[in-house]
Chain A
Amino acid sequence: MKIDYSLVSRRTFLNTLFGGWLLAFMGGSAYALLKFAFPTLGKEPDFVILDADQYMGIPENSVKPFAWGGKLGFFFKRPDGTTAALKGVCTHMECNIAYKPEERKFYCACHKGWFDETGKNIAGPPPKPLEFFDVRIEGKKLMVARKGIKVELPKA
């Protein structure tokens, strides 16, 4: 059957077909490439378990680093002997902080940020206090967990 009148010419039809094919191909390729190039993200841990003997014995008014996933964590013994654990990463630009025992403050060398013993941001650019963790000791295990996370160890 011959149609006398059509909105679509043969040329438009072919252009649409090839254009559409090209677009679909490029779109699909770009999507796949980006999907591959974007990394699969790990997650920060909910808790880590440390050896209590290595950490509980540190002198007062000092810190001992531990690995919080790939980040720096500090086990902290305050001058009064109480202990705490915190993430040793500045809340400003994620630089690792250091503890200054003589001033009893945490210090970030990147942009000169200061935090007090409780982790409160007291000077410089940091916008938020440091993140503190819950610390619990069970036998020889020192459990450092994100606040509000309940750590259930398997009975072994």
Chain B
Amino acid sequence: MNCPRLRSWFSERYDVDGIRDLFRKKTVPAHRYEIAYYTGGTTLFLFAIQFVTGMVLSLYYIPYFEHAHGSIIEIVTKLNMGWFFRSLHHWGAQIAIVVLFVHLWCTLLLKSYRKPRELLWFSGFILLVISIFFGLSGYLLLWDERAFAAVRVATGGAGNLPLVGGFIKAFLRGGMDVSGDTLTRFYAFHVSILPLFTVLIVAGHVLLVQYHGMSVPLSVSGQTRKDVPFFPNVFYKDLIVWLIVLGMVVTFATLFPPEIRGKADPLAPAPENIKPEWYFLFLFQTLKLFPGQIFGLNGETIAILLITAGILFLLFIPLFDIKSQRGEKSPLFTWIGMIYLLYFLVMTVIGFVS
């Protein structure tokens, strides 16, 4: 592609060469853990898929409790390619969460959160919370039995937090109970509030990566290595990974379109063998571990407090890990990261098979 007039139009107005130099100068360290660098870009790519498929789905979805369930049935049965885009949105979300968790654990185990990248970790953590909330709010939009029970449990769980619990619960539900008001609210979260915050925070996150450059893991930082130019070497590899991921999402979407259960009925009993989305299974399994009463205290409150403490510790890990802050190896926090990972994996598997 060569349009000299267009090029000169731009270069008369903007410092095109300067911008191009920025790209040209960007290098990426090459070492045995470099595969971790692709997880962030892949998450971004999957988010882009979610934005696009979400936009087209919102053209037809009706965010009102009487019509929501029916409108999705309509999308998947009557509209051109409707089944495909709904399925793509579903699987894109699933795989985005998988990749997000991989990205999280790469960052955690390679300690890329260490000084000076603490803000990257915090912004990434906020994005994780947003993504999970995306999942929960998107799931309720189906307005089927399972979504109804899942959102009751999730918002009710937040209600067990001391002091602020009741406030958060009522705010999320839009009332005392999960109802049509909750659906409207979650729709607003899902299509307007969360996407806007996501765009802003992702922009900040990506800019911070450009500012700091790629983090080099402590274990390889001493070795001599060659840095590879981002463009075109790494960029093309990025594209390869994205293409593979796109292929996976489309394959899953085509072969395994997600089920839609019966319309939610606030007066129907919770369906048998109900299980939450897989990324909530470890929490679900943890809740089952706790008996109703522990030394006369409410078991749930203790469970929720412990879970909250675990999550907060993970959030503030860059501040606790003083050794890696100083640039020293810190095996203790590798172990802590491994324990988090194992707990998540084991509980998720138990949740699946039980």
- A positions within 8 Å CB-CB of B: 37-39, 41-44, 65-67, 69-72, 88, 90, 92-98, 108-112, 121, 124-128
On chain A, the residues within 8 Å of B152 by CB distance are: 93-95
Contact A42 B175 (CB under 8 A): yes
- B41 CB-CB contact with A under 8 Å: no
Residues of A within 8 A of B175 (CB): 39, 41-42, 70
Residue of A nearest to B172 (CB): A39
| A93 and B290 alpha carbons, distance in the complex (Å) | 13
Q: Mark B143-157, 1 if CB is under 8 A from A, else 0.
A: 000000100110011
Select which of B268, B269, B271, B287 is within 8 A of A125 by beta carbon.
B287
Residues of B within 8 A of A126 (CB): 292
Q: How many residues on the B side are at the interface (Cβ–Cβ under 8 A)?
A: 34
> Contacting A70 at CB < 8 Å: which of B177, B292, B299, B300?
B177
CB-nearest residue of chain B relative to A73? B267
State whether A125 touches B170 (Cβ < 8 A). no
Q: For the complex, is B293 an interface residue (Cβ under 8 Å from A)?
A: yes
List the B side residues contacting A111 at CB < 8 Å.
284, 287-288
Contact for B174 among A39, A94, A108, CB less than 8 A: A39
CA distance A101 to B288 in the complex (A): 25
18 A-B contacts (beta carbon < 8 Å)? A38-B171, A42-B175, A43-B176, A67-B267, A70-B266, A72-B267, A88-B269, A92-B300, A93-B157, A95-B152, A96-B149, A96-B266, A96-B267, A112-B288, A121-B292, A125-B288, A127-B292, A127-B300
The answer, among A37, A39, A44, A125, for a CB contact under 8 Å with B299, is A125
Contacts A43-B176, A109-B269 known; list 19 others, CB within 8 Å: A39-B171, A41-B170, A41-B175, A70-B266, A71-B177, A72-B268, A88-B267, A90-B270, A93-B287, A95-B274, A96-B266, A96-B267, A110-B274, A112-B288, A124-B292, A125-B288, A125-B291, A125-B299, A127-B292
From A71, A93, A97, A111, name the one whose CB has the most chain B CB atoms within 10 angstroms: A93
Contact A109:B171 (CB < 8 A) given known A95-B153, A121-B292, A125-B291: no
Contact B266 A71 (CB under 8 A): yes
Query: Closest chain A residue to B274 by CB distance?
Result: A109
Given A38-B171, A71-B177, A96-B149, the answer on whether A127 and B293 have CB atoms closer than 8 Å is: yes
| Residues of chain B contacted by A72 (CB below 8 angstroms) | 266-269
How far apart sit A12 and B181, CA to CA, in the bound complex (Å)?
Answer: 48
- Asked whether B149 lies within 8 Å of A95 as measured between CB atoms, the reply is yes
B272 interface residue per 8 A CB criterion = yes
A105 to B129, CA, bound (A): 38
- Measured CA separation A125–B157 after assembly (Å): 13
Interfacial chain A residues near B270, Cβ < 8 Å: 90, 95-98, 108-110
Q: Is the CB of B269 within 8 A of A96?
A: yes
The digit string for B263-299, where 1 denotes a CB below 8 A from any CB of A, is 0001111111110000000001001101111000011
A69 to B267, CA, bound (A): 10
A-side contacts of B179, CB under 8 Å = 70
Report the bound CA distance from A42 to B179 in whole Å: 12
Contacts of B157 in A (CB 8 A): 93
User: Quick one: CB contact mask for B161-194 with A, threshold 8 Å, 1 for yes?
Assistant: 0000001001101111101010000000000000
A9 CA to B179 CA in the complex, in Å? 57
Complexed CA–CA distance, A94 and B154 (Å): 10
Are the C-beta atoms of A39 and B149 separated by less than 8 Å? no
Bound: A42/B290 CA distance, A: 31
Kindly state the separation between the CA atoms of A72 and B174 in the bound complex, as whole angstroms: 18
Q: How far is the CA of A69 from the CA of B178 in the complex (A)?
A: 12
**Chain A residues, Cβ within 8 Å of B173:** 39
- Given A92-B292, A98-B269, the answer on whether A127 and B299 have CB atoms closer than 8 Å is yes
Q: Which residue of A lies closest to B287 (CB)?
A: A111
CB distance from B293 to the nearest CB of A (A): 6
Bound: A155/B200 CA distance, A: 62
CA distance A112 to B289 in the complex (A): 11
| B267 interface neighbour in A37, A43, A65, A108, Cβ under 8 Å | A65
Complex contacts, A112 vs chain B, CB 8 Å: 288
CB pair A97 B177 closer than 8 Å:
no
B292 touches A125 (CB 8 A): yes
The 8 closest A-B pairs by CB, nearest first: A98-B269, A127-B292, A95-B270, A93-B153, A94-B156, A109-B270, A39-B174, A70-B177
Q: Closest residue of chain B to A39, judged by CB?
A: B174
**Considering the chains assembled together, what is the distance between the CA atoms of A97 and B15 in angstroms?**
67
Instruction: Write out the residue numbers on chain A whose beta carbons fall within 8 Å of the beta carbon of B266.
Output: 70-72, 96
Task: Report the minimal beta-carbon distance from A79 to chain B, rounded to whole angstroms.
Answer: 20
Within the complex, the shortest CB–CB distance from A131 to chain B, in Å, comes to: 14
CA distance A111 to B274 in the complex (A): 9
Give the chain B neighbours of A37 by CB distance below 8 A.
171
